[in-house]
Chains A and B, each alone.
Chain A
Amino acid sequence: MATSEKKIPVTVLTGFLGSGKTTLLNRILTEQHGKRIAVIENEFGEIGIDQALVINADEEVFEMNNGCICCTVRGDLIRILGNLVRRKDKFDHVLVETTGMADPSPVAQTFFVDDEIGSQFQLDGIVTMVDARHVSLHIDESDECKEQIAFGDVIIINKTDLVTPEEADRVERRIRSMNALARVQRAVKGQVPIESVLDVGGFDLGRALKQKPAFLEPEYPFEWGGVYALQPGQASLVLGDGPDASMDVALVPVDSADEAGLKAGAETAVRFWSRSPSRRVSGNALAAGNTHFQLDFTKEKGRKAYPLSVPREGLYALFTEHGPEEYALRVEDPAGGFLKCRAERPFGAGHSHDETVASVGIHLEGDVDQHRLNAWLSKVLQEQGTDIFRMKGILAIAGQKNRYVFQGVHMLFDGQPDKPWGKTPRANDLVFIGRNLDREALTEGFRKCLK
Chain B
Amino acid sequence: MSQVKKKKGAGPRLHLVDAWTLEAAEYPRSLDWSADGELVALGAADGSLRFLDSARGTLLRTKSSGGGLTCVRWNPRQRLLAAASEDGACRVWQGSGELVAELPGKGGGWVEHVAWSPDGERLAIASGRTARVFTPSGEPVLETEAHPSTVTGLEWSPRGDALATICYGGVHLWPLVEGSPARHLPWKGSLISLAWSPDGEVIACGSQDCSVHFWRLGSGKDSEMTGYPAKPRELAWSKDSRLLATSGGAAICVWRFEGDGPEGTKPLLLKGHEDLLTALDFGGEALTLASGSKDRDVLLWRPGVTPKPVGLARMKDEVVLLRFSPDGRRLAAADATGHLEVWRVAEARVG
Q: What residues make up the interface of A, taking CB atoms closer than 8 Å to B?
A: 1-2, 55-56, 58, 60, 62-66, 73, 75-76, 78-79, 83, 86-87, 114-116
Find out whether the CB atom of B149 lies under 8 angstroms from the CB atom of A62.
yes
- Which residues of chain A are near B152, meaning CB under 8 Å? 79
Of the candidates B109, B211, B275, B317, the one whose C-beta lies within 8 Å of that of A56 is B109
Find out whether the CB atom of B150 lies under 8 angstroms from the CB atom of A60.
yes
- Which residues of chain A are near B207, meaning CB under 8 Å? 65
Interface string of B1-44 (1 = CB under 8 A from A): 00000000000000000000000000101000000000000000
Within the complex, the shortest CB–CB distance from A64 to chain B, in Å, comes to 6
Pairs across A and B, CB under 8 Å, 9 listed = A1-B274, A2-B336, A62-B149, A62-B168, A65-B188, A73-B208, A75-B190, A83-B68, A114-B208
Does B230 sit within 8 A of A, measured CB to CB? yes
Pairs of residues from A and B, 7 with the lowest C-beta to C-beta distance, nearest first: A86-B27, A86-B45, A65-B209, A60-B149, A2-B318, A62-B168, A87-B45
Q: Complex: how many Å from CA A65 to CA B68?
A: 32
Within the complex, the shortest CB–CB distance from A37 to chain B, in Å, comes to 17
Within the complex, the shortest CB–CB distance from B110 to chain A, in Å, comes to 8
- Which residues of chain A are near B128, meaning CB under 8 Å? 58
Does B295 sit within 8 A of A, measured CB to CB? yes
- Which residues of chain B are near A55, meaning CB under 8 Å? 110
- Measured as residues with beta carbon below 8 angstroms from the partner, the interface class of chain B is 20 to 34
Of the candidates B168, B211, B295, the one whose C-beta lies within 8 Å of that of A75 is B168
Which of B70, B152, B190, B230: most chain A CB closer than 10 A? Answer: B190
Of the candidates A2, A114, A116, the one whose C-beta lies within 8 Å of that of B296 is A2
- Which residues of chain B are near A116, meaning CB under 8 Å? 230-231
- Which residues of chain B are near A83, meaning CB under 8 Å? 45, 68, 70, 86, 110
* Interface of B, helix, strand, loop or mixed by DSSP: loop
Within the complex, the shortest CB–CB distance from B16 to chain A, in Å, comes to 21
Known: A1-B294, A56-B109, A75-B150. A87 touches B190 (CB 8 A): no
Q: Complex: how many Å from CA A116 to CA B231?
A: 9
- Which residues of chain A are near B149, meaning CB under 8 Å? 60, 62, 75
Q: What residues make up the interface of B, taking CB atoms closer than 8 Å to A?
A: 27, 29, 45-46, 68, 70, 86, 109-110, 128-129, 149-150, 152, 168, 188-190, 207-209, 211, 230-231, 274-275, 294-296, 317-318, 336
Q: Complex: how many Å from CA A87 to CA B44?
A: 10
Which of B29, B46, B150: most chain A CB closer than 10 A? Answer: B150
- Which residues of chain B are near A64, meaning CB under 8 Å? 208-209
- Which residues of chain B are near A1, meaning CB under 8 Å? 274-275, 294-296
* Interface of A, helix, strand, loop or mixed by DSSP: mixed
Within the complex, the shortest CB–CB distance from A28 to chain B, in Å, comes to 22
- Which residues of chain A are near B86, meaning CB under 8 Å? 83
| A-B contact sample (19 more), CB < 8 A, given A1-B294, A2-B317 | A1-B275, A2-B294, A2-B296, A58-B128, A60-B168, A62-B168, A65-B189, A65-B207, A65-B209, A73-B208, A75-B168, A78-B208, A83-B70, A86-B27, A87-B27, A87-B45, A87-B46, A114-B208, A116-B230
Within the complex, the shortest CB–CB distance from A118 to chain B, in Å, comes to 12
Find out whether the CB atom of B209 lies under 8 angstroms from the CB atom of A76.
no
Find out whether the CB atom of A79 lies under 8 angstroms from the CB atom of B68.
no
Find out whether the CB atom of A76 lies under 8 angstroms from the CB atom of B68.
no
Of the candidates B68, B209, B231, B294, the one whose C-beta lies within 8 Å of that of A86 is B68
Q: Complex: how many Å from CA A2 to CA B276?
A: 11
Q: Complex: how many Å from CA A79 to CA B191?
A: 11
- Which residues of chain B are near A75, meaning CB under 8 Å? 149-150, 168, 190, 208
Q: Complex: how many Å from CA A87 to CA B296?
A: 19
Which of B231, B275, B318: most chain A CB closer than 10 A? Answer: B231
Q: Complex: how many Å from CA A62 to CA B209?
A: 11
CB nearest to B224 among chain A residues: A65
Find out whether the CB atom of B150 lies under 8 angstroms from the CB atom of A79.
yes
Q: Complex: how many Å from CA A155 to CA B45?
A: 36
Q: Complex: how many Å from CA A78 to CA B209?
A: 12
Q: Complex: how many Å from CA A114 to CA B230?
A: 9
Which of A75, A76, A78: most chain B CB closer than 10 A? Answer: A75
Q: Complex: how many Å from CA A65 to CA B190?
A: 9
- Which residues of chain B are near A114, meaning CB under 8 Å? 208
Q: Complex: how many Å from CA A78 to CA B129?
A: 16
CB nearest to A76 among chain B residues: B150
- Which residues of chain B are near A66, meaning CB under 8 Å? 209
- Which residues of chain A are near B70, meaning CB under 8 Å? 83
Within the complex, the shortest CB–CB distance from A349 to chain B, in Å, comes to 43
Q: Complex: how many Å from CA A76 to CA B68?
A: 17
- Which residues of chain A are near B275, meaning CB under 8 Å? 1-2
Within the complex, the shortest CB–CB distance from A393 to chain B, in Å, comes to 28
- Which residues of chain B are near A2, meaning CB under 8 Å? 275, 294, 296, 317-318, 336
CB nearest to B68 among chain A residues: A87
- Which residues of chain B are near A60, meaning CB under 8 Å? 149-150, 168
Within the complex, the shortest CB–CB distance from A167 to chain B, in Å, comes to 42
Within the complex, the shortest CB–CB distance from A54 to chain B, in Å, comes to 12
Within the complex, the shortest CB–CB distance from A339 to chain B, in Å, comes to 64
Within the complex, the shortest CB–CB distance from B84 to chain A, in Å, comes to 12
Known: A1-B275, A1-B295, A65-B188. A86 touches B150 (CB 8 A): no
- Which residues of chain A are near B295, meaning CB under 8 Å? 1
Q: Complex: how many Å from CA A66 to CA B129?
A: 25
Q: Complex: how many Å from CA A118 to CA B188?
A: 23
Q: Complex: how many Å from CA A87 to CA B336?
A: 11
Within the complex, the shortest CB–CB distance from B11 to chain A, in Å, comes to 29
Within the complex, the shortest CB–CB distance from A444 to chain B, in Å, comes to 37
- Which residues of chain A are near B150, meaning CB under 8 Å? 58, 60, 75-76, 79
CB nearest to B316 among chain A residues: A2
Q: Complex: how many Å from CA A155 to CA B222?
A: 48
CB nearest to B189 among chain A residues: A65
CB nearest to B226 among chain A residues: A65
- Which residues of chain A are near B190, meaning CB under 8 Å? 62, 75
Q: Complex: how many Å from CA A339 to CA B257?
A: 89
Within the complex, the shortest CB–CB distance from B49 to chain A, in Å, comes to 15
Q: Complex: how many Å from CA A114 to CA B231?
A: 9
- Which residues of chain B are near A73, meaning CB under 8 Å? 208
- Which residues of chain A are near B230, meaning CB under 8 Å? 115-116
- Which residues of chain B are near A56, meaning CB under 8 Å? 109
Q: Complex: how many Å from CA A357 to CA B7?
A: 65
Q: Complex: how many Å from CA A273 to CA B190?
A: 53
- Which residues of chain A are near B29, meaning CB under 8 Å? 86
- Which residues of chain A are near B129, meaning CB under 8 Å? 58
- Which residues of chain B are near A78, meaning CB under 8 Å? 208
